[in-house]
Structure 1
Amino acid sequence: MSASKKVTLGLIQTSSVHAHAPNVEKTFTHIREAAARGAQVICTQELYTSDYFCQTHDEAHFDLAVEIPGELTAQTGELAKELGVVIISSLFEKRAPGVYHNTATVHDADGSMLGIYRKMHIPEDPGFHEKFYFTPGDTGFKVFDTRFGRLGVLICWDQWFPEAARLTAMQGAEILFYPTAIGVLPDEPEALKREFMDAWEIMHRSHAVANGCYVAAVNRVGQEGEIRFWGDSFVSGPFGQMLAQAGDQHEILLVECDLSLIEKQRRTWPFLRDRRIDAYDGLLKRLGR
């Protein structure tokens, strides 16, 4: 087996307000703290520059979007270079008049922006009216070669689709990051919340098992409008182990991952080897009948 290849992840789990500037200032402060504590790859929660505005249909919320590249991505690049860390940011992107995306940017430790990933799966549920705001992504599933490892980025609703995790892992992703905004509505009982949380955790951990890689889920916290975001950000090991998990309050979760263990895991459980790629044509259909 190859020598140890350890990397420390920093997950920024926090609350947000509607205005852009306070969220950016706070998150940059948290990124600095995470780096000072040893984090090498730092990831924000979903849409960190604002509150979760998708709870209602309001055209004014489109003014929250930023251009990519733009002023914010330039500032993020400067911060990544200064600290020598990789920064994954989840942003509301204005691509063109009337065309907006839920987008993640990846800055390498030298400050360069390696690229973007646009959220592919867009939900439309009570309290989560994202189809009103976001055009489905057209970047495809992507992996980014960074100073500290080969990273894949997916966003929130993408987490429920095993195809997304598989296609990203097949490109060599060692860690799958999921910036997320998930919570419960006020009329949903505590028992149902626990069921939601269990399903959320199980889904992520199953991605880790099926693909033999690390998975990092980064949620937000606090009450925003009708939604109470439950936090509980965590990192799963390549056999679904819960390596570390945050609580339901603000927290910077630091987790050390040994990327050399991916090879060991895939030798023992060679799911990628045993895939029957000759028998999966049905996946390109809506239903199998």
Structure 2
Amino acid sequence: MKELNIGFLQLHNTADTKRNIERLTEEIRDLAKRGAELIVLQELHNSLYFCQVEDVNNFDLAEPIPGPSTELYGALAKECGVVLVTSLFEKRTPGLYHNTAVVFEKDGTIAGKYRKMHIPDDPAYYEKFYFTPGDLGFHPINTSVGRLGVLVCWDQWYPEAARLMALQGADILIYPTAIGYESSDTPEEQERQREAWTTVMRGHAVANGLPVIAVNRFGHEEDPSGQTNGIQFWGSSFVAGPQGELLYRACNDDEESTIVSIDIDHSEQVRRWWPFLRDRRIENYGDITKRFID
């Protein structure tokens, strides 16, 4: 049995970016003191979720990688001796930006990065205005705690992304996230959406025989344009085991700083019971690369 202590932070962000980063720093240090070996942060954790509006001034929030944030979080990972999964607004060059997850090794070096591939464009989630789809593919990142299949938010609805990570030896699937309720939806519809979000990722765990970590924001963030009532991020961050079992699920009405222990070796046993990879009919899957089959 190989236990891994996973820490995650489900936090409410404000417009004060400096204070957001200070809080993250404090909480990461606290999780490390409590025994976390791998710490996962929520999507775009340095700032408010700025994609509620299309505003060119928001590009000023972006920064290069390496850059100030990677220097800060790398030093923090080294200080705390943890593997750290962050989510940053990357400025690649003027006019070219990505939503990028950066993973730091325990020595503070960048173990790897993943640029978000699936980019949504919905009311209050105008991400196509800001982010170019990733061009690094779906490849796990090697770290001292295992091969991390890091994906980001909207990627979580796509079984293809999870499968490609699994086929390349990912030990864990990880999803930094920013998703919440639309105020005009009924409470019943809001709950259906939250449960669908949880269910689809638990399905990725089952289909691939891998643990899944999803870390979501919490709290209400105003729409600067006033066109909507803003987003109430629903929290509910969770860790699921390789059979989809919920090992922990955070609340939907508060912040949380939590450590969950998982048995990394259990995935191999589950795959022996349920050999889904063995029984795949890969010779018949060619049409999966088509947009639609007439």
Q: Classify the TM-score, shorter chain.
A: over 0.9
The whole-number CA distance in structure 1 between the counterparts of 2:178 and 2:109 is: 27
- Deviation, structure 1 residue 190: 1.1
Task: Give 1:108's aligned residue.
Answer: 105
Measured against aligned partners, the alpha-carbon deviations of 1:116-171 in whole angstroms (never above 9, x if no partner) come to: 10000000011100000000000101211211111110000000000000001111
The whole-number CA distance in structure 2 between the counterparts of 1:197 and 1:223 is: 16
TM-score, normalising length from structure 1? Answer: 0.97
- Deviation, structure 1 residue 77: 1.1
Match 2:285 to one of 280, 283, 288: 280
Task: Give 2:215's aligned residue.
Answer: 218
* Aligned 8 A contact 1:93 1:100 in 2: yes
**Count of aligned pairs:** 286
Secondary structure of 1:80's counterpart equals: helix
- Deviation, structure 1 residue 19: 3.4
Alignment of 1:200-215 (within 5 A): 200-215=197-212
- Deviation, structure 1 residue 57: 0.7
The whole-number CA distance in structure 2 between the counterparts of 1:136 and 1:197 is: 25
Code of the residue aligned with 1:275 in structure 2: it is: R
Secondary structure of 2:48's counterpart equals: coil
* Aligned 8 A contact 1:245 1:253 in 2: no
Q: Which runs of 5+ in 2 are unaligned?
A: 223-229
- Deviation, structure 1 residue 111: 1.1
Match 1:70 to one of 59, 63, 67: 67
* Aligned 8 A contact 1:243 1:255 in 2: yes
Deviates further, 157-166 or 59-68: 59-68
The whole-number CA distance in structure 2 between the counterparts of 1:288 and 1:266 is: 31
TM-score, normalising length from structure 2? Answer: 0.96
- Deviation, structure 1 residue 236: 0.5
Task: Give 2:227's aligned residue.
Answer: none
- Deviation, structure 1 residue 68: 0.5
Q: Which runs of 5+ in 1 are unaligned?
A: none
Task: Give 2:245's aligned residue.
Answer: 241
The whole-number CA distance in structure 2 between the counterparts of 1:142 and 1:20 is: 30
* Aligned 8 A contact 2:182 2:190 in 1: no
The whole-number CA distance in structure 1 between the counterparts of 2:169 and 2:16 is: 37
